[in-house]
């Protein structure tokens, strides 16, 4: 298997990653994460997430969009996203602050975060569109980042304060009653789990639906409600994104990729790849993201 897509649990805690949980209240999960080694990972983000780069550089590929993140960047990751991350070798290591918001707690008017499939890199204009009060907080936050008199710990504290204010402004003031939705939540969890397990295989839709204990029609209907597209389209898109990420950041042979990501032959894979990315697989090979790049 080329990759195992893991659900983002416990902030990707591992022996090579220091995870320090932050207190953002009961409705938010937050942590300060420090990586000591280079890392290639693929995650499934079930909930809307904000990530802020404290130090170092990181390449992220999310929903066909590339991000070359550097110190001071703040990125929003939409729910139900497959997130590809590459952290290169770097002297200072990589450190981030991540905040996860339960999707059920987002206000209907918390745009552009409530109903979007697009990751968003923050700007002053974006903050202004969310909440004019937060605009001044964001400007103060940026001034803190550029203040050479502040040390890294003080800048990190300024980031934590701003993220706490931002995320709290987006969530409901009261908890959501989930009791009546428990069956739907269980079915949703089953769909996600089975699909991630079968991602890089060529199993049929009826096989996946059977594993979810649903008819094909029921599975397709519930899947589209969850992801916004038919299951075959979503699965093919993620498989091609995996191929793009591997070619961009690794040393995988192009000839081995079709089978690794669930395509029957190279011709079919190459055609689908060009259609999705407007580039041939060979055009991506060897173009590793530079740690100094940002966009």
* Per-residue pLDDT at 9 exceeds 50: yes
Choose from 31-45, 139-153, 276-290 the range with maximum mean pLDDT: 31-45
Token match 């940002």: residue?
Answer: 294
Instruction: Kindly state whether residues 87 and 214 are assigned to the same domain.
Output: no
Instruction: Please give the pLDDT value at position 46.
Output: 85
257-276 confidence digits (pLDDT tens): 899 998 989 999 999 999 99
Determine the Cα–Cα distance for residues 278 and 267; give it in Å rounded to an integer.
Answer: 15
What is each CA distance from 273 to 25, 68, 104, 203, 289, in whole angstroms?
A: 43, 22, 35, 20, 19
175, pLDDT greater than 70: no
Tokens coding 120: 């968003």
161, 183 Cβ separation under 8 angstroms:
no
The predicted pLDDT at position 69 comes to: 92
1 located within any domain:
no
Using a 10 angstrom Cβ sphere, with 0-12 exposed, 13-18 middle and 19 or more buried, the burial of residue 164 is: middle
Q: Which residues contact 182 (CB under 8 A, 6 or more apart)?
A: none
Give the best-scoring range by mean pLDDT among 84-93, 150-159, 265-274: 265-274
Judge if 44 and 136 occupy the same domain: yes
Residues in the chain: 295
Instruction: Please give the share of the chain, as a percent, with pLDDT higher than 90.
Output: 22
Lowest mean pLDDT among 6-10, 57-61, 113-117: 113-117
Same domain, 143 and 93: yes
Strands (E) across the chain are located at 6-7, 17-22, 28-35, 39-45, 49-55, 58-62, 65-69, 74-77, 81-87, 94-101, 120-121
Q: Report if residue 192 sits inside a domain.
A: yes
For the chain, give the mean pLDDT.
80
For residue 206, is it within any domain?
yes
244 within some domain: yes
Same domain, 145 and 241: no
In a domain, 291, yes or no: no
Residues 193 and 130 in one domain: no
First-residue to last-residue Cα distance in the chain: 31
Q: What is the pLDDT of residues 23-39, one digit of tens each?
A: 877 777 888 899 988 88
Nearest-angstrom CA–CA distance, 45 and 8? 6
Q: Which of 144, 170, 196 is the last residue of a domain?
A: 170
If you average pLDDT over residues 142-159, what whole number do you get? 77
Q: Same domain for 30 and 165?
A: yes
Q: Are residues 19 and 106 in the same domain?
A: yes
Signed CA dihedral, 162, 138, 43, 185: sign only: positive
Q: What is the pLDDT of residue 291?
A: 40
- Residue 218, pLDDT > 80, answer yes
- Which tokens hold the place of 149? 């008199």
The confidence score (pLDDT) of residue 268 equals 94
Q: Of 151, 170, 189, at which residue does a domain stop?
A: 170
Total tally of structural domains belonging to the chain: 2
Bridge pairing between strands 39-45 and 6-7: parallel
Provide the Cα torsion 50, 55, 60, 63; round to 10°. Answer: 20
What is the per-residue pLDDT for 294?
A: 37
Indicate if 124 and 197 belong to the same structural domain.
no
| 46 closest CA partner among 193, 181, 183 | 193
CA 76 and chain centroid, separation = 8
Give the domain CATH number at 279. Answer: 1.10.10.60
Secondary structure in 3-state letters for 228-267: CCCHHHHHHHHHHHHHHHHHHHCCCCHHHHHHHCCCCCHH
Structural domain containing residue 207: 181-284
Q: Could you tell me if 18 and 157 lie in one domain?
A: yes
Q: What is the mean pLDDT of residues 14-26?
A: 80
Domain's final residue, options 115, 136, 170: 170
Taking residues 224-241, report their average pLDDT: 90
Q: DSSP code of 288? A: P
């Amino acid at each position: 298997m080329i990759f195992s897509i893991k659900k983002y649990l416990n902030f990707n805690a591992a022996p090579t990653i220091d995870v320090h949980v932050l207190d953002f209240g009961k409705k938010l999960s937050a942590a300060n994460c420090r990586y000591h080694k280079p890392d290639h990972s693929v995650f499934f983000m079930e909930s809307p997430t904000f990530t802020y780069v404290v130090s170092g550089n990181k390449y992220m590929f999310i929903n066909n969009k590339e991000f070359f993140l550097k110190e001071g960047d703040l990125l929003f990751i939409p729910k139900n996203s497959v997130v590809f991350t590459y952290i290169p070798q770097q002297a200072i290591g990589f450190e981030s602050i991540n905040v996860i918001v339960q999707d059920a707690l987002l206000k209907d008017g918390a745009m552009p975060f409530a109903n979007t499939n697009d990751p968003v890199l923050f700007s002053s204009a974006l903050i202004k569109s969310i909440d004019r009060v937060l605009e001044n907080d964001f400007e103060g936050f940026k001034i803190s980042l550029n203040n050479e008199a502040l040390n890294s710990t003080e800048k990190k504290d300024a980031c934590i304060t701003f993220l706490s204010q931002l995320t709290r402004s987006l969530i409901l003031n009261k908890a959501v009653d989930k009791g009546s939705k428990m069956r739907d939540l269980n079915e949703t969890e089953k769909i996600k789990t089975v699909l991630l397990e079968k991602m890089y295989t060529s199993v049929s839709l009826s096989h996946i639906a059977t594993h979810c204990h649903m008819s094909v029609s029921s599975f397709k209907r519930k899947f589209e409600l969850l992801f916004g597209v038919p299951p075959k389209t979503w699965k093919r898109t993620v498989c091609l994104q995996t191929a793009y990420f591997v070619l961009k950041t690794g040393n995988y042979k192009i000839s081995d990729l079709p089978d690794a990501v669930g395509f029957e032959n190279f011709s079919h894979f190459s055609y689908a790849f060009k259609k999705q990315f407007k580039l041939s697989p060979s055009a991506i090979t060897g173009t590793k993201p530079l740690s100094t790049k940002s966009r």
